[in-house]
Copies of this chain bind each other. A is one copy, B any other.
Amino acid sequence: MDINQVIRVVENVKQKTPLVHNITNVVVTNFTANGLLALGASPVMAYAKEEVEDMAKISRALVLNIGTLNETEVEAMILAGKSANAHGVPIVFDPVGAGATSYRTKTAQRIVEELDITVLRGNAAEVANVMGEQWLIKGVDAGEGHGDLVSLAESAAKQLKTVVVITGKQDIITDGVTTYIVHNGHVLSTKVTGAGCLLSAVVGACIGVEENPLTAAVSAVSSYGVAAELAAMKKEKEGPGSFQVEFLNQLSHLSAQHIKQYASIEKKESV
């Protein structure tokens, strides 16, 4: 992927300030909103069945996240999602903790069945469990995986007809045909709750300004990873508290220069 495409997407987020409608978990609402604001997007959180269809319709992207799901919220997600689908608003789905309880797994599967998802973003265990594969998960953290993550991502993308993003030590982004591997990011992100949830929301911001979901997702994942690396360069020694604060700073300062210098995007050669 031409790095200038990534730069253009990030700059468009700043210029167009896309409205991103989040129905997300209570742990990460604040961090998600602040991360989107730092990047230049315009976050809104709305959950009530009375308004989610209206809010999704006027947004540039809808982000669904089942991190602290309950039946009322799931119904709101379905309503919002159908409204988004009807009005051409792309949906990012983050199946937090799929596999940890059967309720989460079933709900995640229901969402991908009832809605047309544009991008599915999760760790390997979550994506596998959405696909009906057994994959050990511990709470909401990825367990030790087995198997070929690229194959998992590609088969999920084909079956669900979405772009799939599997994040981990390296990040895999695929539409089932073309696959990219991003080598950015920093391990301190795993010590910040909601780092994955915010990434899903950032994918939403990028897809709100870029029609090609694969380009949008690669742009989101790589620039997010670059911001994490820049934050770690400054604050790794201090610890996760300082890193989180600096990460918001870096998201707001992301420049073409930073992205050109640090983004590491590999196109997987087809076999």
Give every chain B residue within 8 A of A47 (Cβ-Cβ). Answer: 68, 70
Q: Which of A48-56, A84-92, A214-222 contacts B (4 or more CB under 8 A)?
A: A48-56
A109 contacts the other chain (Cβ, under 8 Å)?
Answer: no
Give every chain B residue within 8 A of A71 (Cβ-Cβ). Answer: 48, 50
Interface centre among A58, A100, A194, A239 (most CB of B within 10 A): A239
* Pairwise interchain contact B101-A34, C-beta atoms closer than 8 A: no
Give every chain B residue within 8 A of A58 (Cβ-Cβ). Answer: 100, 138-139
Q: Which of A168-176, A244-252, A259-267 contacts B (4 or more CB under 8 A)?
A: A244-252
Give every chain B residue within 8 A of A34 (Cβ-Cβ). Answer: 191-193, 240-241, 244
* Pairwise interchain contact B70-A48, C-beta atoms closer than 8 A: yes
Q: Which of A3-11, A22-30, A122-130, A159-167 contacts B (4 or more CB under 8 A)?
A: A22-30
- Closest B residue to A192 by beta carbon equals B34
Give every chain B residue within 8 A of A152 (Cβ-Cβ). Answer: none
Q: Which of A2-49 contact B (CB under 8 A)?
A: 19, 21, 25-31, 33-34, 37-38, 42-48
Interface string of A68-97 (1 = CB under 8 A from B): 111110000000000000000000000001
A59 contacts the other chain (Cβ, under 8 Å)?
Answer: yes
List 29 interface pairs A-B (beta carbons < 8 Å), by A numbering: A19-B139, A21-B139, A26-B29, A27-B33, A30-B194, A34-B193, A34-B240, A38-B239, A38-B240, A42-B139, A42-B141, A43-B193, A45-B68, A46-B97, A46-B101, A47-B70, A51-B103, A51-B104, A54-B100, A55-B139, A58-B100, A58-B139, A59-B139, A70-B72, A239-B248, A239-B250, A241-B246, A242-B245, A245-B245
